[in-house]
Structure 1
């Protein structure tokens, strides 16, 4: 198998159709196929063979997309590094991945300079041109062309035969532990991702469709890429997140689809002029990676129209395994089944999803247990982490660490992360449940709930809240508001008002960082 063949096939069908748009750069399918052929040949010419690791460290740009396709064609393993990490973390990931080549941009050249020594990296390729660390991207593509590589010169393009269990991507994630680990996404996992992106009418795009990828394409936001290319659509990659530019891009590019995280939706909804843009081209806006409150979902439905859908998944499941469709949203918003706004959907495509107790036995519908997943999109484990792999992958099932309940009709409702559950006075309190109520308050823009030290109860519920712009929040009034919707033991015991909440590089609220403020220096920690 070779995933690059699908790009070559689409390029044969529609060579002049746009494949990638990123800032001023526009690539047709013929250009995407040609550039990726030449990059694959250049990497092979530098001695890289099937299974060798190639790292990237750059902000969103068209060349990152070309690189992904080239690595598939050459049978190499991609090690994407989050562009917001520091030199020490980058060095760790380069060593951990055993990368032999690093491709980086000018903005991260100094980080690369500090990180590369002591690693296995032998070549640093600069997307923006050559440096003292190595050649430029355009240079090695030109070299490959000059050497007669590629179909245009009559020589067969790079097409390395891969096995399903070969590593395609080392998907680095910190999860809720803060420790960087790599889920080993195989070529079989990535093929399953392609299948699920085109199997369902809810997720499929086709020729003429144009999907905005708003976050880092090296991680979750890049997961739809191969499905887009397989189907002949266009990937519109935002160089950086800016809510005004997102709306302008929808209007200018006549985008039909988009993938965002809830934090992005929040910033769009806060724009005074959001309704000044023509968003009528949108057919689907998928949100995921974190919960979004029912109140905010209704506001987004009102702005964008009946186009919302939600996905639930992670790096270990190679993207989404649960899906809440646009029709599900409509039923909830129009009052047919309002509880669905609290759901993350039902199993998607080939994923087998269960809710189990601590022994691995399925719990009854309505009872809280852990979400576990198996299927062709579930990775075999973590790179160089046998103990963590044994802990998280048991009897063929990946244990997500997410607590949930299942309704009799199959809809799954996330309750909390296991590590985010607050135990106060012997009672289990789910932070997500309290946050859901806080987001119903009209003056709350964003909120996070954590357990903080309490001598009497062990932990007490703390709400950390960002007020809406121009709103005045009364802490006691907010606690009383929660008491109207929650059992007494679940309401926040205290509220801290802050200007902003910390977010991790993927846009999720960083509860671990919030919790650390309150637990620092304590002798005993619950979590």
Structure 2
């Protein structure tokens, strides 16, 4: 098998159609096929063979897309590194991946200079030109013939070492195989809710090295165009939808929040949008309704992770409509039903399925679930049991198959012997019209062991007070679940993938505590 052949096929069918747009760079399918052939040939000329690792460290740019396609063609494994990470974390990822080649941009040359020594990296290719670390990307491609490259791979060959964002405190790599990536391509075109076709134009708003890049091969397989934002900017996102006549987009809830906060949001023509998929974190029903009002009836939601090679649960646009129009309002709290080939269960601590309505852990199996973690046999054995991936997410299932996430196992607060789910309290806080963003954590409490703490960012110009927010929650939750205290802040910490970093928030309150619950 070889995933790169689909680019070659689409290039033969529509060579002049746009494949990639990123800032000022616009690549046709013929150009994407040509450039990826040249890069694949150049990498093989460096002595790389099937299965060797290649790392990337750069902000969003068209060359990252070319690199991904080239690695598929050459049968190599990609180790994408989030561009926001520091030199220590980058060095760890280079060592863990055994990458022999690193492609980086000018902004990260100093990080590469610090991180690469002592690793397996032998060649550093500079996307912005040659440097003292190695040759330039363009110069290398200009001196390489564009012969077709198609290395045959086995389904269990590593395609991507997908490093987590480190929210658990340790960077680990889920080994996405070529079989997993082919399953990702299949599920992107199997459903009318996720499929695009020739002429469709999808905005990828986050780092294409991670979740935002998951749709790429499905777009190219179908003959659409990937519009990659160089960086996130809410105003530029809306301008890009209007200018490029984008039909599809993938965003995270934090991005939606920043768009909704723009006074000028309604000044843009968003009528070309057919689907706006959000995922990677929960979004409150109030925000979903506001987004529906702004963007129109185009919202859908995906739930998945690196270990499941993108989404495995999906809440469709029709599901959103039913909820917003009052037919089934509870659906706004759901992350959907199983998508494509994934099999999803809710199980107890022994791995046995729980009854509908009871809380258990989400487990997943299927062709898109990775075989394990790179160089982590103990963690793999703990997380992948009896063929099932244990997500660590607590949820309940409705009798018609809709899944409702309650919390992360590690984020559950135990106060006075009661289990309190941070997500449930956060969803109530987000119903308050003056709350822009909120996070709930457990903090030390001599009487209760843990107490519920809300950390809240007010909307611009809003006047919030602690007592009022606590009473707002008390009116909508069991009183034991209401926050015992509220801290008002100007911003919440986010991890490199844009999710609120609960671990960092919790650390502020547990630093120096004699006993830690988590």
TM range (shorter): over 0.9
Q: Which residue of 2 aligns with 1:67?
A: 67
Whole-Å separation in 2 of the counterparts to 1:31 and 1:184:
30
Any stretches of 5+ residues in structure 2 without a counterpart?
Answer: none
Measure how far apart 1:157 and its partner are.
Answer: 1.3
Q: Deviations over 1:125-161 (max 9, x none)?
A: 00000001100001110xxxxxxxxx99998511100
Number of equivalences: 518
Over the residues paired in the alignment, what is the CA RMSD in angstroms? Answer: 1.2
Q: Distance in 1 between matches of 2:362 and 2:334?
A: 13
Q: Secondary structure at the match of 2:143?
A: helix
1:102 aligned partner: 102
Deviations 1:326-362 (A, max 9, x none): 0000000000000000000000000000000000000
Answer yes or no: is the 8 Å Cα contact 1:322–1:345 preserved in 2: yes
**1:99, 1:515 → 2: CA distance?**
34
| Cα distance in 2 between the residues matched to 1:325 and 1:484 | 31
C-alpha distance in structure 2 between counterparts of 1:343 and 1:153, whole Å: 51
Partner-residue secondary structure (3-state), 2:181: helix
Conservation of the 8 A alpha-carbon contact between 2:247 and 2:274: yes
Q: Give the TM-score of the pair, scaled to structure 1.
A: 0.97
User: Deviations along 1:180-238, whole A, 9 cap, x unmatched?
Assistant: 00000000000000000000000000000000000000000000000000000000000
1:176: Cα distance to partner?
Answer: 3.7
Mapped partners of 1:400, 1:266: distance in 2 = 26
Q: Deviations over 1:240-272 (max 9, x none)?
A: 000000000000000000000000000000000
**CA distance in structure 2 between the aligned counterparts of 1:134 and 1:480, rounded to whole angstroms:** 61
Distance, in Å, in 1 between the alignment partners of 2:155 and 2:40 is 20
**TM-score, reference length from structure 2:** 0.99
Distance 2:136 2:146 in 1: 24
- Give 1:434 shift: 0.2
Q: Is the 8 A contact 2:167 2:495 kept in 1?
A: no
Q: Is the 8 A contact 1:176 1:419 kept in 2?
A: no
Whether the 8 Å CA contact 2:37–2:147 is kept in 1: the answer is no
Give distance in 2, aligned partners of 1:250 and 1:436: 29
Please give the alpha-carbon distance, in whole angstroms, between the structure 2 residues aligned to 1:506 and 1:13.
35
Cα offset, 1:61, TM superposition = 0.1
- Residues 283-327 of structure 1, C-alpha deviations (whole Å, 9 max, x = no match): 000000000000000000000000000000000000000000000
Moved over 4 A (4+): 151-156
Check the 8 A contact 2:41/2:147 in 1, yes or no: no
Query: For the Cα contact (< 8 Å) 2:38–2:145, is it kept in 1?
Result: no
CA–CA distance in structure 2, aligned partners of residues 252 and 361 of structure 1: 51
Q: Given the superposition, is the C-alpha separation of residues 373 and 153 from structure 1 closer, same or farther in structure 2, using an over 3 Å criterion? A: closer
Query: What's the counterpart of residue 22 of structure 2?
Result: 22
Unaligned runs of 5+ residues in structure 1 are 142-150
Q: Does the CA-based 8 Å contact 2:38-2:146 persist in structure 1?
A: no
Q: Secondary structure at the match of 2:291?
A: helix
Q: Shift in Å at residue 422 of structure 1?
A: 0.1
Distance 1:155 1:107, change over 3 A: closer
Question: Aligned partners of 2:194, 2:237: CA distance in 1, in Å?
Answer: 21
How far off its partner does 1:523 sit? 1.2
Contact 1:259 1:285 in 2 (8 A): yes
Distance 2:175 2:144 in 1: 36
**CA deviation digits over 1:384-419, x for unaligned, max 9?**
000000000000000000000000000000000000
CA contact (8 A) 1:309 1:323 kept: yes
Q: Which moved more, 1:96-105 or 1:175-184?
A: 175-184
Superposition deviation, residue 177 in structure 1: 1.1
Match of 1:479 among 467, 470, 484: 470
